[in-house]
Amino acid sequence: MGVVVNRDGEHTSILNSLKQIGLYTDCYGRAHWSEPSLIFEGNEAKLAHFLVDVAGLLAHDKDASTREIELWVEHMRPVWQTPDMPSGLLRFADVMFREGLTTTSPNEYARFLFGECEVSDYEDQKPLER
């Protein structure tokens, strides 16, 4: 995953640009508004296939264990489709790392999600109610 989170990598710049124009309404240059619904209009399926292909290249050739799925459900179910999803993912990554189920550190996940930061930057957040 280290190569994926290289902030100076060309792929990082391309994915950030894609995310910016595809997910956020924003004003560029001289009042040119970007509307995500119009950016990929008619090409959503092509974009989805492209992103899945890229993910396939970056993903490991390993099936998830029962324990990994249990941890995913435990940490992601309570925050699914809420603003707390990134925090849930970081908690999941932390437990995976501590249990030796991955060599990807929680800080690598944090850099991927938020840019240059460390998991400790988010540790003082209020725990989620369960």
State pLDDT tens for residues 68-79.
999 999 999 999
Domain that holds residue 45: 10-58
Q: Select the highest-mean-pLDDT range: 8-12, 18-22, 70-74, 123-127.
A: 70-74
Q: Residue 129 falls within a domain, yes or no?
A: no
Given a contact cutoff of 8 angstroms between Cβ atoms, the answer to whether 29 and 83 are in contact is: no
Q: Residue 130 falls within a domain, yes or no?
A: no
Lowest mean pLDDT segment, chosen from 22-26, 99-103, 116-120: 116-120
58 pLDDT band (50/70/90 cuts)?
low
Q: Residue 41 falls within a domain, yes or no?
A: yes
Total domains in the chain come to 2
* 124 vs 33: which has the higher pLDDT: 33
Please tell me whether residues 52 and 84 are part of one structural domain.
no
Q: Residue 35 falls within a domain, yes or no?
A: yes
Please, which contacts does 2-6 make with residues 24 or more away whose CB atoms are closer than 8 Å? 2/108, 4/58, 4/112, 5/108, 5/111, 5/112
Q: Residue 2 falls within a domain, yes or no?
A: no
The mean per-residue pLDDT over the stretch 18-47 comes to 73
Q: Residue 126 falls within a domain, yes or no?
A: no
Please tell me whether residues 36 and 74 are part of one structural domain.
no
Please tell me whether residues 52 and 22 are part of one structural domain.
yes
Collapsing DSSP to helix, strand or coil, 27 comes out as strand
C-alpha–C-alpha distance, residues 108 and 116, integer Å? 10
Please tell me whether residues 51 and 73 are part of one structural domain.
no
Q: With both helix axes pointing from N to C terminus, report the angle between 66-76 and 85-98 in degrees, rounded to the nearest 10.
A: 150
The mean per-residue pLDDT over the stretch 29-49 comes to 74
The mean per-residue pLDDT over the stretch 87-93 comes to 92
Q: Residue 5 falls within a domain, yes or no?
A: no
- Joined together, the tokens standing for residue 102 give 């991955």
* Percentage, residues of the chain above pLDDT 70: 68
